[in-house]
Structure 1
Amino acid sequence: MTTIVYKIVPTTLWQDARESGEFKGASIDLTDGFIHLSTAQQAKATAALYFRGQQGLLLVAIDAGKLGDRLVFEASRDGALFPHLYGSLDFEAVLWEKPLSVRPDGTHDFPELAA
């Protein structure tokens, strides 16, 4: 069984990364020294806290098993263990990319997420 982790990312940043062949992260990731990811259980809360009302976002599903020991689960918000990727994201680990549409209340519509 594949363990999946998720990244919420602006579409334009993701497209630029695809063109360059490497995703190094968003500005917060670069500042913190790792790429912030979420589990299926964490993704909606992450979107609500950090991306509320933002349009032009993608939800990217990533095969955690393909990230090796660069993926570390570390205590973060409220002590929960969040996946952090140390290093760039290899596109061969990406399972799919889907747009996140914004509802009138500022929350996002999510596809069904696998854990």
Structure 2
Amino acid sequence: MIYHITTRAAWQQQADQAEYEAESLHSEGFIHLSTTGQVAGVLERYYQGVPDLLLLHIDPNKLTHDLRYEAATNNEHFPHLYGALNKDAVVEVEAIRQ
């Protein structure tokens, strides 16, 4: 399982779409994802004080676009999705309690 953190508003904005496009897909060319062990660190580094977050649980075997594990600035390898996230790969949408 891999994960994507988003706001409830961003997820609901695309509720009627078959695919989800995070802002980073347009600005960086991919959607930022995390492994199980990376989620807490990503929340701490980038989402402090951000309300109403969701954690998308994604089955990587169901993705229809290219998934690559790439080194970040700290040389930790993160999964990046090069294309929109097909929603049938999302197996659970969990509210994040901070």
Q: Smaller-chain TM-score range?
A: over 0.9
| Distance in 1, Cα, partners of 2:59 & 2:17 | 21
Tell whether 2:72 aligns with 1:79: no
Runs of 4+ in 1 over 6 A off after TM superposition: none
What is the 5 A alignment of 1:82-101? 82-101=78-97
Partner of 2:37: 41
| Distance in 2, Cα, partners of 1:79 & 1:90 | 28
| Distance in 2, Cα, partners of 1:69 & 1:56 | 27
Name the one with the larger helix percent: 1
* Gap regions ≥5 residues in structure 2: none
Name the one with the larger strand percent: 2
Q: CA deviation at 1:30?
A: 2.1
TM-score (norm 2): 0.92
Q: CA deviation at 1:18?
A: 1.9
What is the 5 A alignment of 1:61-72? 61-67=57-63, 70-72=66-68
The number of aligned residues is 98
Task: Report the residue type matching 1:57 in the other structure.
Answer: L
Task: Report the residue type matching 1:30 in the other structure.
Answer: H
Q: CA deviation at 1:15?
A: 1.0
TM-score (norm 1): 0.79
Deviations 1:30-72 (A, max 9, x none): 2111000000000110000000111110001000111256101
